[in-house]
Structure 1
Amino acid sequence: MSRRTVLAAGVGAVAGVALAGAGIAAGAAPSMAAPPWWAKLTPRQQAGQRVIFSYPGPTPPQSLLDGITAGEVGGVIFFGENILNLAQIAGVVAQLRAAQAASPIKEPLLLMTDQEGGIVRRLKGMEPILSEKQIGLQPDPDAAATAAGAGAAASLRSAGMNLNLAPVLDVFRVPGNFDDQFGRSYSSDPVIAGRLGAEMVTAQQGAGVAATAKHFPGLGAATQAQNTDLGPVTLTQSLDELRSVDESAFVPAIAAGVQLVMTSWATYPALDAVYPAGLSTTIVQNELRGRLGFTGVTITDALEAGAIDAFGDTGQRSLLAAQAGMDVLLCSSRDMQQGTDALDAMTAALQDKTLNPGHYKQALARVQSLRAGLF
């Protein structure tokens, strides 16, 4: 995710007739395909599968546990303030998993954190130690990127988590700019950044932890002062540069099967002069899914980001993101009410069909596919 305190979710459950071979024998009763798991859920439970919650401090509130047991929570993101040590957070995760086991949802929760490497590590003192910048400068950066992916997976698995919000695939332009100042970019060369990112993804997902390529279509052109956490950011590179440099770094990770892509909250006039990337149908549907062929799960950056203040409250932002094609909504302000507001808005929009029902089911199917493969 871009800067959430770096420093300080088929059309319908319509069952098809199963035919044996070229046809079925006369008089034989057709069999119906099993409906997806979410088809039996209430609208509120369906909405919940697309919302990631967060909470303050080291102890998860009872409201979060109750929401999980009710089947109204898709996942949880963990920050430094939630983690005292490995034993403590592993105990918390076990508690959340127990609540999920008592719920109507049998797929695992999405249990995530930012374990990028360098200074961006919520599991302090654990792998990957090297930042992306440091990896790019190693004598054998490919081996270092692979080791980082394996290390990140081991760290998350030891805490019971199954999804890492990494790697960052931004291609920094100027030394010391927004990404580079924190060591959050492999290289200013999109070929190198893309290759190392894909190697990290392959190693991490090979060890059973989902990876997230971020922040599409790229924040590498952001200056040191351009921070979407704090306010609007407009990146004015040409369409050719945006595609040949920024987006191109995501191509190897997509080819490697990265399971999630996180969009940025910057605005890119070359593609969409009105909406930031995570609210832009043009960027999510046309560029990421259409042009680059990504078929996995899309996840927003922090819904509380200052860059999207002009687009309404949490509920309004959630609907705009879902309408743009975002599958999972990241409520990361460490405030349970934020997640509840997103859940309320998504439930109402599902019931009154403000959100396209077919598109909604497609998003749920993508989330189901992701979660079915996680521990």
Structure 2
Amino acid sequence: MINLIRIILLFSFIYANDIKYKHNYNLESMTLKDKIAQMIMVRINGEFYNDEHWRKKKVTSLIQNYNIGGIISYTGSVHGTYYNLKEFQELSEIPLFIAADYERGVGQFIDGTLFPSNMAVSASGNPENAFKQGEITAIEAKAVGINMIFAPVLDINNNLDNPIINFRSYGDNPDIVTKYSLPYIKGIQSQNIIACGKHFPGHGDTNTDSHTSLPIINKTIEELFNNELIPFKNACDNKVRSVMVAHILFPELDSDNPATLSKKITTGILREKWGYKGLIITDALEMGALTSHTWHGEAAVKAIEAGADIILLPIDVEIAINSIYNAVLENRISEKRIDESVNRIILEKERMKLFDNNIHNWSHIEKNVKIRKHTKIAQKIANESITLVKDKHNLIPLDVKKNKNITHIMLSMDDGVKSRFKSYARDINKTHGNVQEIVVNNELSALGIKDILKKVKKSDLVLISMLVRIKMDKGISTIDLSHDELITKISKMGIPIIGVSFGSPYLPNYKNLDTYICTYGYGSVSLRSASSAIFGRINISGKLPVTLNDKYKNGYGLEVKRISSVFNENQDVNFSNTKEMIYKAINDSIFPGAQVFISKGNSILLNEGFGKISNDKNSEDVTRSTIYDTASLTKVLSTTPVVMKLIEKNKLSLNFPLKDFYPSYNTNDKKNVTIRHLLTHSSGLKSHIAYYDIPGIDRDAIINDIINQDLEYKPDSKTKYSDLGMILLLDIIENVTGSKLDELSNKYFYNPLGMHNTMFNPEDNFIDKIAPTERDRYFRHKLLRGIVHDENAYILGGVSGHAGLFSNASNIGIFCKMLLDGGYYLGTRYFNSEIIDSFTVRKNIPKNSDRALGWDTPSEIGSTAGDYFSNNSYGHLGFTGTSVWSDPVNDIIVVLLTNRVYPTRNKKDIQKKMYNFRRNFHNEVMKQILGA
């Protein structure tokens, strides 16, 4: 076999004619067939293959018996891709080029970070996004074993009917394509990965897909050099390390041969006219554009004659090698010509340090592939790309209250439209709440159109999501004409239409859409961005990188500011350990069931019920909708925010002394006690008094007793958690406003926020949704289900400042998100951010206290919040087994609701078990989110 001496480059970019070696290197040590094989790359999928699988055997044979130069990896899994490539690389005596078509990131083929399309990137208006995409793609590709990326597309999409380039292009003029492709190339090559500009000399101005037949572009030489060739020239000048040549006929350049087989084009322009010294790569020789005109063995020979260094995917590798070999023996191709290409290939492999056998281990993948930092950037780019082309009636963001009944029509000629739109449609449905869905994935007959028109008749608005996939053999670049006819007829009904294109931005006409949004793709990031744009969760600022018609030209796009932060679902975080922990707690009888809501930013990471609402036989499952008695969470979900609101309205002040409300406080030891002291639990009041043990006691008697209680300690001198202080706040609030606490909470927060499962004293129609809290054998002697658990709150009529509120985890999540977002939610300001900041940070009353105003913060040692919430976090616990924690630094909310006192609060060691569970639960959750 080959005894290859390493090549060390003396400077950063040396090509065949300038080769200088530190050690002697002799191509003569390789046979002619070995050298030819170095110019061949074949396909492998990224699936797991056992040793008996025919694909694995085939590629193994090509490596061991022919010494092929490279392989191209396609769809599969991260695991399969990594281990396949690792094994093949180890088999090969000369390291392999391993390439992939990661135009939209590693996530395009395996479970890596998925980016939006090139057209979306340019619509974002920020070339830095192209660099970041290239850099991240290269980092992840390198981690799984890829060293060559067949991107970027340098084609100019100047033909609206192009069925294969379309949104894969950065735009419809050379300036845009250059502006975004160069940073992308820089990003890829910053990681010592080979970028590849394609499809030279330009695949944009054609309505033919070269996968199926040969496109012909009838442009003059002057037109080509002034347009199509500009991005390629700029890329070559900026040292793109490879260029892929297309199977396209350019009669003005070479009337006989497509570019791949044309020496006039490949060598004449790239090598001779431009002096390009990088790798020249053919497009796949298996494509219909070549196979329909040229025998595949001859195609391989002609590609080498034309100037190609690397041949992709010949139909038969042995025939390709033998055909080229015979052409050399017949003096049709010189061996020197072969040597030039092989020198370039070996130099690039040395330049990438492939001879160092530096294959990463699996842990490198875990630290670099699809990490949060990468996916966040990809989503940011997708968000910035969304383009609002028209919005005739200002329908964006969608007013859910105004448009109570909407129909969502998903249009495509793709059978998989429903599954592809699954998460997007779910988000639309969940966010709006009343959506009729219609899926159309074929040509519509007149009867079919009539049936749909009947269904949409009573809609306030119709959302039409159009999926036009650009893929080989697809052959179309816009929606079906029957689908366009449907849109026209809906428009004539006078129903407002929001149209959203996923994929191709081009439509037969735009006049029948009141609103038109372009996403330029249909990957998960674009789907999330689309629903976020519709509901106002993100700023809309994208600009068209192509001209749609005379009205909607390149650079056009309306701007709409984000007015909403409604959650969308995101399952990127694996909470399997967390769930296992919850089920273990259920099995250990710490609680019969639990409800968990976890979010980061605008993404709901987990919103799920676990176990049963009770231990009773035939008990119902806990669901997202199950309602719990939140106990002391009332203090921070009702009492504290109402105080905040009244302070903003100048009806209360933290510095108001209690003596202004209660004359009995006008004594030396009490006169300086303020509302601030009540909120920080530093007022001197006792923690708790069992008023329910006093026969016949009522609210007035309770309030009177509290205000006449002697203080246990000097105010400000210590912290002692006190229900009594919160009961006084209830009385103060209601005296100041003349309204009940529950009424104020509903008015200010629960109703406008859509917290429909949050209430005091639940009505009978909610009882079936409520988890029973306890079998009360001490006071009321009955099952407590929809009846407040806290005895003092019960005496006070079910509404108190310290307890009484019922809710579910997702409702609490909404409230906390409003606070984390500075008091804004769905375009409405509930608080100024300053008062939120003031109430949620430690007050040091007394010094070193963990208490904020109403809220608790994580203690330095042994906090039930665990060890990973930031110091700026705030939260609270409830006696019934509830808790809420918000982390403004990491934008995280964690809500845990249980009925741990069911069937009784006197379960053995329940306090200790619940404490340990809470700590471990929060630690596990935060570790998964933060990657700690």
TM (normalized to structure 2)? 0.34
Pair 1:219-2:203 in alignment: yes
User: Which of 94, 97, 103 in structure 2 is aligned with 1:116?
Assistant: 103
| The structure with more helix, counted as a fraction of residues | 1
Aligned to 2:194: 210
| The structure with more strand, counted as a fraction of residues | 2
Distance in 1 separating the partners of 2:31 and 2:74: 30
User: Which of 32, 43, 66 in structure 1 is aligned with 2:61?
Assistant: 66
Cα offsets for 1:288-309 (capped at 9, x unmatched): 2222221111000010111113
Aligned to 2:79: 87
Distance in 2 separating the partners of 1:176 and 1:373: 41
Distance in 1 separating the partners of 2:109 and 2:224: 33
User: Which of 350, 372, 380 in structure 2 is aligned with 1:372?
Assistant: 350
Structure with greater Cα Rg: 2
How far is the alpha carbon of 1:55 from its aligned partner?
Answer: 4.2
Contact 1:303–1:331, Cα closer than 8 Å, also in 2: yes
Identity of aligned residues (%): 23
Contact 2:162–2:206, Cα closer than 8 Å, also in 1: yes
Cα offsets for 1:343-373 (capped at 9, x unmatched): 2222333344331222221111111121111
Aligned to 1:11: none
Aligned to 1:42: 31
Cα offsets for 1:56-110 (capped at 9, x unmatched): 6833422322332345210001122xx2x1011100011001101xx3x3xx200
Task: Give SS of 2:268's match.
Answer: helix
Aligned to 1:96: 88
Q: 1:308 to 1:323 in 2, by over 3 A?
A: same
How far is the alpha carbon of 1:128 from its aligned partner?
Answer: 4.8
Aligned ranges 1:248-263 → 2 under 5 Å? 248-263=230-245
Contact 2:156–2:205, Cα closer than 8 Å, also in 1: yes
Aligned to 1:344: 322
Aligned to 2:227: 245
Aligned ranges 1:1-375 → 2 under 5 Å? 35-55=24-44, 58=47, 59=49, 60-70=55-65, 72-80=67-75, 83=76, 85-100=77-92, 103=93, 105=94, 108-117=95-104, 122-140=108-126, 142-175=127-160, 177-179=162-164, 181=166, 183-223=167-207, 226-331=208-313, 338-374=316-352, 375=354
TM (normalized to structure 1)? 0.82
Contact 2:159–2:206, Cα closer than 8 Å, also in 1: no
Cα offsets for 1:302-334 (capped at 9, x unmatched): 10111113543221110010011111100166x
How far is the alpha carbon of 1:195 from its aligned partner?
Answer: 2.5
Task: Give SS of 1:76's match.
Answer: strand
RMSD in angstroms over aligned alpha carbons? 2.2
Task: Give SS of 1:90's match.
Answer: helix
Q: 1:174 to 1:351 in 2, by over 3 A?
A: closer
Contact 2:297–2:320, Cα closer than 8 Å, also in 1: yes
Distance in 2 separating the partners of 1:69 and 1:91: 18
Q: 1:57 to 1:192 in 2, by over 3 A?
A: closer
Cα offsets for 1:171-224 (capped at 9, x unmatched): 11134523553x11001120120121111111101112110000000011012x
Q: Structure with the greater relative contact order (CA < 8 A, sep ≥ 6): 1 or 2?
A: 1
Unpaired segments of 5 or more residues in structure 1? 1-31
How far is the alpha carbon of 1:260 from its aligned partner?
Answer: 0.6
Give aligned pairs, total.
327
- Look up the equivalent residue of 2:153 and give its one-letter code: V
Distance in 2 separating the partners of 1:161 and 1:351: 35
Q: 1:344 to 1:240 in 2, by over 3 A?
A: same
Q: 1:117 to 1:57 in 2, by over 3 A?
A: closer
Distance in 1 separating the partners of 2:131 and 2:138: 11
Contact 2:37–2:68, Cα closer than 8 Å, also in 1: yes
Distance in 2 separating the partners of 1:301 and 1:180: 14
Distance in 2 separating the partners of 1:112 and 1:209: 10
Contact 2:244–2:282, Cα closer than 8 Å, also in 1: yes
